[in-house]
Amino acid sequence: MKRASNGPDETEEIGYELGKVLKAGDVVALYGDLGAGKTTFVRGVARAIGVPARDVASASFMIIAEHDSTPPFFHIDLYRIEKEEDIDNTGIWDCIGKDSVAVVEWAEKLGTMAENFIRVRISDTGNNRREICVEGLDEKNRHHQ
């Protein structure tokens, strides 16, 4: 799926649309440059799961933010991780599982570990516009609620 966004509100709405089809056990790997709109996208996903958008901030300083929802929602931000081997010390693998939904910003730091996740790439195309590409979402096994 490839979508165009003309601003932060549309980026959040595209995140919301994805969030509506996520289920427990799903992990979304987010890719994009600094300022691309990753956290804005996460706000939309979180809102679809029942977490108020205002409760979602950049998790860069905490690395992992857990939100009370059903299923549990984890916002993971690997911006400050410098080496792939440091990932195991973050507790990320305790958050990713069959009972939760997790979104990982700066997923490129996971290397090949993210290959089986739903992958979202946000590209800045200029003038506050973004191209959002979603890969790995098996549409035939999912339905809107």
So what's the pLDDT on residue 43? 94
- Predicted pLDDT at 137: 84
All domains in the chain, ordered by first residue = 2-141 (3.40.50.300)
Which tens digits make up the pLDDT trace of 34-64? 989 999 999 999 999 999 877 887 655 678 8
CA distances for 20 relative to 11, 16, 67, 71, 121, angstroms:
15, 6, 16, 12, 18
CA dist 8 and 137 (Å) reads 23
Task: State the Cα–Cα distance between residues 121 and 94, nearest whole angstrom.
Answer: 24
pLDDT surpassing 60 at residue 143: no
The percent of residues above 90 in pLDDT, for the chain, comes to 54
**pLDDT computed for residue 59 by the predictor:** 56
pLDDT, one tens digit per residue, over 88-135 is: 888 888 888 779 999 999 999 887 777 789 999 999 998 889 999 999
The contacts of residue 77 (CB under 8 Å, 6+ apart) are 39, 58, 59, 60, 62, 63, 64, 65, 104, 105, 106
pTM for the structure as a whole: 0.86
